[in-house]
Amino acid sequence: MPSAYDQMWEKLNLDLEAHEGLLAVLGKFYGDIYMSQQGRLKGMEYLDFVLSEVHGLRIKELQDAKASGKKVVGTFCVFVPEEIVLAAGAVQVGLCAGAEIGKAEAEKVLPRNTCALIKSFVGFKLAKLCPFIESCDLIVGETTCDGKKKAYEIFAEYSPVYVMEIPQMKAACDRELWKSEVGRFKSTVEELTGNKIAAGDLRDSIHLVNERRRVLQRLNRLRAAVPVPISGRDALLINQISFYDDPVRFTAKISELCDELEQRVKSGAGIAPDGTARLMLSGCPMAVPNWKLPYIIESSRAVVVGEESCIGTRNTRDLVQEGSATLDDMIDAIVDRYMRIDCACFTPNTERLDNIVNMARELGVKGVIHYALSFCQPYSMEAYKVEKALSAAGIPMLAIETDYSMEDVEQLKTRVEAFVEMTR
Please spell the DSSP secondary structure of 274-330, one letter per residue. Answer: TTPEEEEEEES---TT--HHHHHHHTTTEEEEEEESTTTHHHHSPPPPP---SHHHH
- Name the residue nearer to another protein (CB basis): 216 or 383: 383
Cβ at position 334, least distance to another protein in Å: 17
How many residues touch another protein (CB under 8 A)? 43
344 binds another protein (CB under 8 A): yes
Selected binder of another protein within 92, 135, 143, 316 (CB under 8 A) = 143
Q: Going residue by residue from 172 to 191, which x/- string records binding to another protein, judged by CB under 8 A? A: -xx-xx--xx--x-------
195 binds another protein (CB under 8 A): no
Q: Going residue by residue from 355 to 374, which x/- string records binding to another protein, judged by CB under 8 A? A: -------------------x
Coil, helix or strand at residue 249:
helix
Give CA–CA dist 176/160, Å, rounded.
Answer: 27
Indicate the angle between helix axes 44-52 and 247-267, nearest 10 degrees.
140
Cβ at position 301, least distance to another protein in Å: 29
Residues 64, 69, 70, 71, CA torsion sign? positive
Give CA–CA dist 185/175, Å, rounded.
Answer: 15
Span of 17-25, 273-281, 351-359, 380-388 interacting with another protein by CB under 8 A: 380-388
Residue at 196: amino acid letter: K
Q: Going residue by residue from 92 to 121, which x/- string records binding to another protein, judged by CB under 8 A? A: -----------------xxx-xx-------
408 binds another protein (CB under 8 A): no
Give CA–CA dist 212/51, Å, rounded.
Answer: 18
Please spell the DSSP secondary structure of 201-244, one letter per residue. Answer: HHHHHHHHHHHHHHHHHHHHHHHTSSS--S-HHHHHHHHHHTTT
Selected binder of another protein within 20, 146, 329, 408 (CB under 8 A) = 146
Span of 11-19, 43-51, 223-231, 340-348 interacting with another protein by CB under 8 A: 340-348
Give CA–CA dist 285/327, Å, rounded.
Answer: 32
Name the nearest CA neighbour of 281 among 398, 198, 108, 186: 398
Contacts of 424 (CB under 8 A, 6+ apart): 275, 277, 366
Burial 329-366 (b: 16+ CB within 10 A, else e): ebbbbbbebbbebbbbbbeebeebbebbbebbeebebb
327 binds another protein (CB under 8 A): no
Residues in 221-250 that interact with another protein by CB under 8 A: none
Selected binder of another protein within 24, 25, 269, 381 (CB under 8 A) = 381
Give CA–CA dist 82/206, Å, rounded.
Answer: 9
Main-chain phi, psi angles of 370, to 5 degrees: -90, 125
Cβ at position 48, least distance to another protein in Å: 37
382 binds another protein (CB under 8 A): yes
312 binds another protein (CB under 8 A): no
Cβ at position 337, least distance to another protein in Å: 20
Cβ at position 184, least distance to another protein in Å: 7
Selected binder of another protein within 14, 51, 151, 288 (CB under 8 A) = 151
Selected binder of another protein within 100, 332, 401, 417 (CB under 8 A) = 401
Alpha carbon of residue 4 to chain centroid: 28
Cβ at position 110, least distance to another protein in Å: 6
Binding stretches for another protein (CB under 8 A):
109-111, 113-114, 143, 145-147, 149-154, 163, 165, 167-169, 171, 173-174, 176-177, 180-181, 184, 344-345, 347-348, 374-375, 377-378, 380-385, 401
